[in-house]
Structure 1
């Protein structure tokens, strides 16, 4: 039988007399949505092994066990034995180094062969009643690090952290032309391009978007830049550099040439966050793949 996610904790004198509902919301930081799901969808709240309602008054020494309901996967998602380069894994999260040319989640165009399908297979091999919760995403042709929550409770934490800018991502991009300034901030709103369901553009009525960049190296007709996102709009880096007149090499959707590389020259090389359960700081780096190093040579990521 597949195992749903659960949390077990001993009540201290600090929480003596607190209602179970308040303890779950304030101390365990369950979302109200999660609490409702436990109540109505085959989850359990146990105190000292006995089922209790959220109105139960806690006593010091009580053992509280929260058993989340089994998670329902999307009907478009099914397990596939896809090789995954797992950089980090614990009971709450996965960090994966994604190759280019593979989508993160299924779509009408790509219903199979996705990272999410591979992660679901990985979870089912561990006999876990979880589904896939992507926290950070990458375009199909962007390579590098992405964060996936293994269960809904972890996803709730990570989404909150993302909104508060506590998850940090850095990228390497190779762009057309020579960027003259050594560093800068592109602050230009991004919205959907009229008449397209895919393309985005800089437009006055778009959503706030900020991209920080630092030139790493200039070549004869292109520039290598390290990039930090302050916001996470769809195609943000690609749109912003095209807007500057420096589209990414290989990005023919936004004005780049595919002469030197057949996909947008963009790699997520660094991902960092404070773990919401262990409170440990994590920072992961991944070297760019061969199609990018063929353009710019080996890169010392530690120096960026």
Structure 2
């Protein structure tokens, strides 16, 4: 059933989206915008913008529709399959695609596309992520390895756990570097001040990221990041921690940044031992067009006197 909330503002409370995200635990500011778009949030019986400044006397009504059930239906997503055999698939995930169904993304995920592509996917303990052994964020592009059977899943998960596989990312980050290479060894856990963010936290889990500056531009840099561990938002959190947040990152970066479709972070290289043949396989994927366009622009700007 739908949930309904009403609020009567007794004094000025700031932005509508920020107020509702604070008052209703299950709402993020992004979700507030979605509800506004669907006319499920009204102020004084009218649709207003998420940035609407609340005033004394305003009456807010909120309707949260029941959650759609997670879908494991096959959906044609025209996947970019880089490699496939009877045991594994390597796919190049575009920006904007979630890896597997969740409460906020019940369908049109990579898993839905994989189910359309093949019926041979390893079972998952949770049931809603067949074939998935690791993830990248919705707005991070790049390479993922997919298991087509249980033996392959066990092998790939074991390689991840023992850090014997290879995962290299490219990122455009803010700022100029003094050191060209470095290692960030800082534990990551939930941000106690913002439930939507992860953060460097002494009580968090061990997290290690290696980085190398490949190109330096005016106020930006292209870096290669190599994961030694795989924590949620690890590269995004670590780069912010050292003062070089990823350009375009809506959660951890500054507002004044490069225009794009989210963070300029791309899983460019993936290597692993084949689960059956035990041969080393390694794959690379070019950065998305918008990533390349911004790189070209930064190079041109750097050449100007």
- The answer to whether TM tops 0.5 is yes
Equivalent residue pairs, number: 222
Counterpart pick for 1:212 among 206, 210, 213: 210
Q: In the aligned structure 1, how far is the partner of 2:160 from the partner of 2:171?
A: 22
Q: Secondary structure of 2:251's match?
A: helix
1:105 and 2:100 equivalent?
yes
CA contact (8 A) 2:248 2:261 kept: yes
State the shift of 1:261 in Å: 2.4
For structure 2, the 5+ residue unaligned runs are 1-68, 124-129, 298-305
Q: Secondary structure of 2:287's match?
A: coil
Report the equivalent of 1:158: 156
Q: In the aligned structure 2, how far is the partner of 1:296 from the partner of 1:159?
A: 34
Q: In the aligned structure 2, how far is the partner of 1:88 from the partner of 1:262?
A: 26
* Pair 225,129 (structure 1): closer, same or farther in 2 beyond 3 Å: closer
TM-score scaled by structure 1?
0.70
Report the equivalent of 2:41: none
Q: In the aligned structure 1, how far is the partner of 2:149 from the partner of 2:254?
A: 38
Deviations 1:249-271 (A, max 9, x none): 00121123344323100000000
Q: How does 1:231-242 map to 2 (within 5 A)?
A: 231-242=229-240
Report the equivalent of 1:265: 264
Deviations 1:9-65 (A, max 9, x none): xxxxxxxxxxxxxxxxxxxxxxxxxxxxxxxxxxxxxxxxxxxxxxxxxxxxxxxxx
Deviations 1:115-151 (A, max 9, x none): 1101011123xxx485522122110000010111012
CA contact (8 A) 2:121 2:131 kept: no
Report the equivalent of 2:275: 276
Q: In the aligned structure 2, how far is the partner of 1:274 from the partner of 1:297?
A: 35
Report the equivalent of 2:86: 91
Report the equivalent of 2:9: none
Q: In the aligned structure 2, how far is the partner of 1:130 from the partner of 1:80?
A: 18
CA contact (8 A) 2:93 2:143 kept: yes
TM-score scaled by structure 2?
0.69
* Pair 78,243 (structure 1): closer, same or farther in 2 beyond 3 Å: same
* Pair 182,111 (structure 1): closer, same or farther in 2 beyond 3 Å: same
Counterpart pick for 1:244 among 242, 265, 272: 242
